[in-house]
Structure 1
Amino acid sequence: MFSLPSTLTQVQAQACLQQLQADMAQLPTGAPAQVDASALVVFDSSALAVLLGGRRAALAAGRPLQLSGMSAPLLSLARLYGVDGLLQPPAAH
């Protein structure tokens, strides 16, 4: 599981995305890419760019992306940008 740092702004975004992609490359074929956002406290829209970049990388590798620990403020920002549907897990039935 890849854990996002407590701070993820434009300053950290490129390195964070590169680490996420490197960690995904080490996963067994077909294994889900799990990202934990629960430590994320200080962030800007760059955090969404990292999560969307991770999603693109996971899809390109044919693996699901599982996000957990998304705070209400992070979900609110995702809604503001219209990408919340891409980042939220499917609703349980």
Structure 2
Amino acid sequence: MIRCEGNTLVVQGAVTVNNVTALTQEGIALLDHEYMLVDLQQVIEVDSTVISMLFEWLREANKKNCHLEFIRLPASIESLVQLYGVNDIITPLSNPSKPES
């Protein structure tokens, strides 16, 4: 599930092969600010498909001229980011204090 709080997408629950397509499309539809955060703290279960979802969001955000940043990655996602060597692309923002657009 994804909910939008101002310029922040809050992802909750599992992100797995069973629901990643729907979550990807849901997230893309919510990319409607020039600057957006994706809060992943409430993600409780993942598989490697979460990386493809985040990449797709970055691609779509770029098409929409939206600057997208990730915050509060759980250890499970951080491990996958490291495993796939994409930490230069999916870099969590350490201080998400940018005001809403």
TM-score, normalising length from structure 1? 0.84
Hey, which of these two has a bigger chunk of strand by percent? 2
Q: Which among 3, 14, 19 is matched to residue 7 of structure 1?
A: 14
List structure 1 segments (4+ residues) > 6 angstroms apart after TM superposition.
none
TM-score, normalising length from structure 2? 0.78
Letter in 2 for 1:18: Q
SS in 2 for 1:85: coil
SS in 2 for 1:38: strand
Q: Deviations over 1:17-52 (max 9, x none)?
A: 00000001xx24xx2122110001100011111111
Superposition CA RMSD, Å: 1.7
% same residue = 23
| Residue ranges of structure 1 left out of the alignment (5+ in a row) | none
Deviation at 1:79, TM superposition (A): 1.0
Aligned length: 88
Alpha-carbon distance change, 6 to 90 in structure 1, aligned in 2, over 3 angstroms: closer
| Residue ranges of structure 2 left out of the alignment (5+ in a row) | 1-7, 96-101
Alpha-carbon distance change, 42 to 65 in structure 1, aligned in 2, over 3 angstroms: same
Deviation at 1:91, TM superposition (A): 7.2
Hey, which of these two has a bigger chunk of helix by percent? 1
